[in-house]
Amino acid sequence: MILILLGPPGAGKGTQAKLLSLEYGVPHISTGDMFRDHKARGTKIGREIQAIMDAGGLVTDEITNAMVKDRLARPDVRQGFLLDGYPRTTAQAEYLERELRSTGQKIDRVVSYEVPEELVVERISGRRSCPKCGAVYHVISNPPRRGALCDRDGATLVQRDDDRPENVKKRMQEYADKTWPLKRFYQDRKLVAEVEGVGTPEGILAATRAALEGRA
């Protein structure tokens, strides 16, 4: 199964992607995680994207598409995969379509998480993550057990640079300008399943499952 998760920053795509990946047994491909990993390792790509990413801008289609192409060449994606945070522009969506066509694959569904803007801002500003294991918390809705320390490994949680208030505005603008039109793109291809992205992660997972199984 090939699934794409669409929605604004802070819509909970990452959380749902982790849950869905376990449930359906397909790899979770997050271009945001891949870029953060490049940055943390200080690779050539990492150095190229650092400034733009920290400021909440989008990495170029060229770099992003090339990275995704490499990822989709690995054998674990043969039974399907789940894309979280990609595509984010029409050029990326068109690129993906061509790539999949060339290997005889096709997208099964595109889940569009619908979340009111106020909630998105609240979710992003409260988000904290573990620099060691990548676990994600929220200061109010999903706080760590002890202070600002990761439950799993005790590392001090941090706020992502692009989650800082001054950069969130830029990300929302990029979303509105470049990513929002993708919903239409996939609606034209009759692939979109809308899911209300409000509530607990378990509740949203149940709604996603229902939408994918045609019960919504």
Q: Which residues have a catalytic role annotated?
A: 13, 88, 127, 160, 171
User: Which one, of 103, 94, 82, lies nearest residue 33 by Cα?
Assistant: 82
First-to-final CA distance of the chain: 19
Binds ligand AMP (CB under 6 A): choice among 8, 9, 12, 197: 9
Binds ligand AMP (CB under 6 A): choice among 86, 95, 137, 186: 86
User: Which one, of 98, 95, 100, 33, lies nearest residue 73 by Cα?
Assistant: 100
**Shortest distance, position 192 Cβ to ligand AMP, whole Å:** 18
Residue closer to ligand AMP (CB basis): 63 or 149:
63
Listed in sequence order, the residues at least 6 apart from 54 whose beta carbon sits closer than 8 Å to its beta carbon are 161, 162, 167
With vertex at residue 178, the alpha carbon angle to CA 174 and CA 179, rounded to the nearest 5 degrees, is 95
**Binding pattern to ligand AMP, positions 32-71, x when CB under 6 A?**
x--x-----------------x--xxxx----x-------
Applying CB under 6 A, does 162 fall inside the site for ligand AMP? yes
Alpha helices in 55-164, H assignment, sequence order: 61-72, 90-102, 117-126
CB 182 within 8 A of CB 93: yes
**Binding pattern to ligand AMP, positions 97-136, x when CB under 6 A?**
----------------------------------------
**Shortest distance, position 213 Cβ to ligand AMP, whole Å:** 26
| Binding partner selected for residue 86 from Zn ion, ligand AMP, none, CB under the kind-specific 5 to 8 Å limit | ligand AMP
**Shortest distance, position 145 Cβ to ligand AMP, whole Å:** 25
Residue closer to ligand AMP (CB basis): 166 or 210:
166
Please provide the DSSP assignment of 70-93 as one string: HHHTSGGGTT-EEEES---SHHHH
With vertex at residue 28, the alpha carbon angle to CA 26 and CA 29, rounded to the nearest 5 degrees, is 130
Residues that bind ligand AMP (CB under 6 A): 9, 31-32, 35, 53, 56-59, 64, 85-88, 92, 162, 171
